[in-house]
């Protein structure tokens, strides 16, 4: 799937919303409007790249504690 179509794909948006409490995204592209819109619409948590293992563990722990 071409990069831009990932965030424009309506099927993926439906899947992301239905799994929002079980999925977290990681991205290095939060400045792009399509990416930001997709992440906001999905309601799923996300972590920005780059990150180290400590930050990832903290993020996952926070997400799990909210569920």
The yes-or-no verdict on residue 4 having pLDDT over 60 is: no
Q: Where along the chain do its domains lie?
A: 3-66
Average pLDDT, the chain: 77
Check if the beta carbon of residue 7 is closer than 8 Å to that of residue 35: yes
Q: Tell me the pLDDT tens digit for each residue of 30-62.
A: 788 888 888 887 777 889 899 999 999 998 898
More confident residue, 42 or 17: 42
Q: Could you tell me if 45 and 58 are in contact, meaning their C-beta atoms sit under 8 angstroms apart? A: no
Q: Chain-centre distance of CA 42, in angstroms?
A: 8
């Amino acid at each position: 799937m071409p990069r831009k179509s990932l965030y424009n794909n309506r099927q993926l948006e439906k899947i992301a919303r239905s799994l929002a409490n079980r999925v977290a995204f990681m991205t290095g592209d939060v400045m792009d409007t399509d990416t930001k819109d997709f992440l906001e619409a999905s309601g799923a948590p996300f972590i920005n790249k780059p990150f180290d293992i400590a930050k990832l563990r903290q993020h996952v722990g926070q997400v799990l504690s909210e569920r």
